[in-house]
Structure 1
């Protein structure tokens, strides 16, 4: 980090982060401007920014988002989300907290089978309609769902992209994640529900008259195009199956999503221009800029230096190492996207595990996964799902500010990480 490029990259990233936090300039403009500066100062170049697997734009994430946004755009035209919104509210008897609990549980379960970004893309439209029907602010419900998606995605190999990177490096299986992390995730979801009851208590305003109106609705009447709905559900089922069967089929989620979007557009009567208009282009542009900025930190050695210093701090102490890795990863993943962080930290963790005489199921791998996945809840840009939901909320004229999200995210992250530290100590050291 003696090269001036490293310090210049830090200045650009910190400056961009400060502007995003201040919300004085739109985050998309900041991300693209920061990316441009990283290229201008030579912290990264066109080859690294657009073609590098380690430090460039993660096109798998970009095209996964685009494909799923197109599928969701078609499904919106069928009335399916209105149907689900009415159904959910009626099952919860129009009680706001019961609705939130239902949405949180569904999101957490879905995120364990799908990736968390896909889950929020499907759940967010339902949530917006539920809140519209009940005359409730959408922000608390959307924030709770994002956090549920990041927590639920921790449970399985396919639930969060960092888990896939860790599994590949450590040789871990789907069942390894399920056995080691799923029990903790169940506890964390219950804790999240309890926290939501306190954090968002002002949003749980029951309107008896409006509740009576909703209970009198017939959800089947919301379906506008049954034929298109059948086509959309068949394609969505195939896409979900493709996600779940990733370890067998070896198709990247982005490929599955694009194939599904292309098939749905081809077999349906929906105009291609209408489908493309549903894509959240500003969100994709923000991700591209953010990836390039983080790539500048990787190419100049900043991220590697931080990771190695963390590794030096760990040394050969397994308990201290697990605690430090979990806590440190949670902090860093709240600042930079957890995908490049884990990609950088995974080989270092592998060396630490080998030096300690451990194998694939070593506690350090679970500490890294928990810290990276749960730390994404800390800030509004800590995880991909967060950014996606902020984009959807803004498009629907219910914007969620950086600090509006982060003030809740810091609380949830602190509590869930603290519980995770206790879980790791109890399971892998005290009871081992």
Structure 2
């Protein structure tokens, strides 16, 4: 082992320890570690840039822009309130429905963005029902990871694997979709049993949920229609990008640009 390899291992170890400790912002730590790799000439700048998966970055950037715009229409709040009303205030059903919605959104958007959207809505619903939000949040974390595994864009590792191996959106769905549905069903059953004593329905909670109006959550109907159309276009684009010979990042950024325009 030469000197450069020892320095590289030392930098990596320090970076990992600082990230785990959470005493310094993770972004600052990661960028500082990368800078040290250049300073000690372990990598040239060109070599460092070549290791960046821009396809993955641009898919995430594009989808986060899309979601941030769609959010302004009130679509996600509408879905959350409607789901709570369909469950008639039953916390156990709300947990199951939110898990299914989280898994689905993680598959067609990405799991990081999905959790950022579903999390605040969950806290609002649990506050209305005056119940502990932990069962909802824990199950949504699992559902997000499970659902995100099923598609090319659902999880950053999937995007990187798909980009490196030349796998398409359809390849992921065909090979992972059926297994993911089974795993999600098993996890739902396990957590329904595990949290059965904490998630108890009451007449008061049913009345509180019944009084909510999901239509009031829609803030911009015109934007809502545009958002749904663009999301459908993006989904079609992801499903056919390999046949069209374009990268998934192009689809995501194109959808983002259309909504921005």
Same fold per TM (> 0.5)? yes
Which residue of structure 1 lines up, in the alignment, with residue 210 of structure 2?
215
Aligned-residue CA RMSD (Å): 3.2
How far the C-alpha of 1:242 sits from its partner, in A, is: 0.9
Which residue of structure 1 lines up, in the alignment, with residue 118 of structure 2?
126
Alignment of 1:234 onto 2:232: no
Q: Distance in 1 between matches of 2:172 and 2:148?
A: 14
Q: Distance in 1 between matches of 2:46 and 2:150?
A: 35
Give matches, 1:243-322, under 5 Å.
243-266=238-261
Q: Distance in 2 between matches of 1:139 and 1:40?
A: 45
- The count of aligned residue pairs is 255
How far the C-alpha of 1:118 sits from its partner, in A, is: 2.4
Give matches, 1:84-163, under 5 Å.
84-112=79-107, 114=108, 118-122=110-114, 124-135=116-127, 141-155=136-150, 160-163=158-161
**Cα deviations by residue, 1:370-421 (Å, 9 ceiling, x for unpaired):** xxxxxxxxxxxxxxxxxxxxxxxxxxxxxxxxxxxxxxxxxxxxxxxxxxxx
Q: Retained in 2: the 8 A contact 1:127–1:138?
A: no
Which residue of structure 2 lines up, in the alignment, with residue 224 of structure 1?
219
Q: Retained in 1: the 8 A contact 2:237–2:251?
A: yes
Distance 1:202 1:22, change over 3 A: farther
**Cα deviations by residue, 1:199-255 (Å, 9 ceiling, x for unpaired):** 777974767545422221121121111111111211121112111222222322221
How far the C-alpha of 1:155 sits from its partner, in A, is: 4.1
Which residue of structure 1 lines up, in the alignment, with residue 47 of structure 2?
48
Q: Retained in 1: the 8 A contact 2:150–2:172?
A: no
Alignment of 1:70 onto 2:65: yes
Which secondary structure does the structure 2 equivalent of 1:245 belong to? helix
With CA pairs under 8 Å and 6+ residues apart, which has the higher RCO, 1 or 2?
2
Q: Distance in 2 between matches of 1:245 and 1:65?
A: 18
Which residue of structure 2 lines up, in the alignment, with residue 396 of structure 1?
none
Which residue of structure 1 lines up, in the alignment, with residue 180 of structure 2?
185
Which secondary structure does the structure 2 equivalent of 1:42 belong to? coil
Which secondary structure does the structure 2 equivalent of 1:28 belong to? helix
Alignment of 1:164 onto 2:162: yes
Which secondary structure does the structure 2 equivalent of 1:25 belong to? coil
How far the C-alpha of 1:42 sits from its partner, in A, is: 2.2
Distance 1:162 1:72, change over 3 A: closer
Which residue of structure 1 lines up, in the alignment, with residue 53 of structure 2?
58
Q: Retained in 1: the 8 A contact 2:151–2:169?
A: no
Structure 1 unaligned segments of length 5 or more: list them: 267-432
**Cα deviations by residue, 1:246-272 (Å, 9 ceiling, x for unpaired):** 222232222111111111111xxxxxx
How far the C-alpha of 1:133 sits from its partner, in A, is: 2.7
Normalised by the size of structure 2, how large is the TM-score? 0.80
Q: Retained in 1: the 8 A contact 2:102–2:114?
A: no
Which secondary structure does the structure 1 equivalent of 2:84 belong to? helix
Structure 2 unaligned segments of length 5 or more: list them: none
